[in-house]
Chains A and B, each alone.
Chain A
Amino acid sequence: MDGIHDFGGMEGFGPPAVEIDEPVFHHDWERRAFGITMASFVLGVSNGGQFRHSIERMDAEHYLGSRYYEHWLTGVATRLVETGRVTIEELEAGAGGGFPLSRPVASAGVTVPEPGTDVTVGDEVRVRRITTRGHTRCPRYVRGRRGTVVRIDPPSSLPDLEAHGDARRSEPIATVRFDGRELWGEGAERAAVHVDLWLSYLERVT
């Protein structure tokens, strides 16, 4: 989905706020939210794709206006409700007020790309225009852009499928090197940006 989480290349956020000698957790509730989420993985509440998508489905203003571990809390609570382990009524009763969850998975438009073709290091590729309303790990800023394959990683489960059901498809992951100008135009900074992309996200440039 073209969600608020997909930050690559967005403008208007200003400089990063760097804190000297920053603690691992800033509040005790962050410790607990982290631990609850880690425990939820052990208990099989979510796989990686399901958990990431539960955060991507947060209300965009809530996502932007909340601290990082509030994202985790919202995602894990959403998954616990969706898997029937707890109810929103129980959560709100315990919290003594509202307990905002993420929006539901899109009821239509959740698509999975067709399998891609094999690529090898040195190949020129173009990123497909992925348009799913579901989960994907193909960032918006590289879609439709051309780059060169510089590394192939071992097959791994395609997140677009894994986040939405029991079906699995394992594919190699290609590291694609993009020139900054290909991504951002002629005035771009001189830089190479590498993105790790499942083969289904790619097509070979002939």
Chain B
Amino acid sequence: MSDDHHHHPRTQSPIEQRVHALEELLVDKGIVTHEMIDEFVARYEDDIGPLNGARVVARAWTDPDYRDRLLADGTAAIAELGYGGPEGDHMIVVENTDEVHNLVVCTLCSCYPWPVLGLPPDWYKSAPYRSRAVREPRALLAEMGCDLPDEVEVRVWDSSAEARYLVLPQRPAGTDALGEDELVALVTRDAMIGVAR
């Protein structure tokens, strides 16, 4: 974390000048403090990220009762592991199988399950992803390195209202000997969005 925002760097781009101007104005008026902003940044840059979701997935892979609870009431099952908060108040978990592949998008803005995945990557918020995920998901997935057999059904979930979606990927073959902690390391953010198997 840098303290650059407390000082005026020598040359700033127009967007840097605007952000700096707004922050200083709000602080001068006593509306916000630098520390308030620092705290939000630290929480979402350092504390909350896809490792949370990976723990949820690994638990579901190793505990069939937990998997059942996760699919029945995602919010409650995720809260069992201590995760919740903004953009995670109504969690729906969708399960990949040999027959079904799930893909999550927000065509209207960038809705994303923050408590389990953190803040979304640029591509998730981009025009290419948001426009094409609902129209040509198979072509899009193939371009992103996820080739699906023709017989696999694709289910796209457009997060247009209050629910936030997490994909429960399939447990990789050959991992029977691994424990929950080792499995956590195998779970990727992309698989939990549905752009990887």
Query: Which applies to chain B's interface (DSSP): helix, strand, loop or mixed?
Result: helix
- Asked if B185 lies at the interface with its beta carbon under 8 angstroms from chain A, I say no
Chain A residues with CB under 8 Å of B17's CB are 94-97
Q: Which residues of A contact B (CB under 8 A)?
A: 5-11, 13-19, 22, 24-29, 31-36, 38-40, 42-43, 52, 55, 64, 66-68, 70, 73, 76-77, 80, 85-86, 90-91, 93-99, 137-139, 141, 151, 153-154, 156, 173, 175, 180, 183-184, 188-198
Query: Which applies to chain A's interface (DSSP): helix, strand, loop or mixed?
Result: mixed
Q: Which residues of B contact A (CB under 8 A)?
A: 2, 4-5, 14-26, 29, 31-32, 36-41, 44-45, 49, 90, 92, 107-110, 118-119, 121-123, 125-132, 134-140, 143-144, 153-163
Contact status A32-B160, CB under 8 Å = no
Q: What's the A-B contact tally at a CB cutoff of 8 Å?
A: 222
A11 to B136, CA, bound (A): 10
Using CB atoms, name the residue of chain B closest to A138: B160
A132 to B136, CA, bound (A): 28
User: Which one, B36, B41, B140, contacts A16 given CB within 8 A?
Assistant: B140
Chain A residues with CB under 8 Å of B21's CB are 91, 93-96, 99
On whether A32 and B37 interact (CB within 8 A), knowing A43-B32, A68-B122, A73-B15, the answer reads: yes
Q: Smallest distance from the beta carbon of A4 to chain B beta carbons, Å?
A: 9
Contact status B158-A139, CB under 8 Å = yes
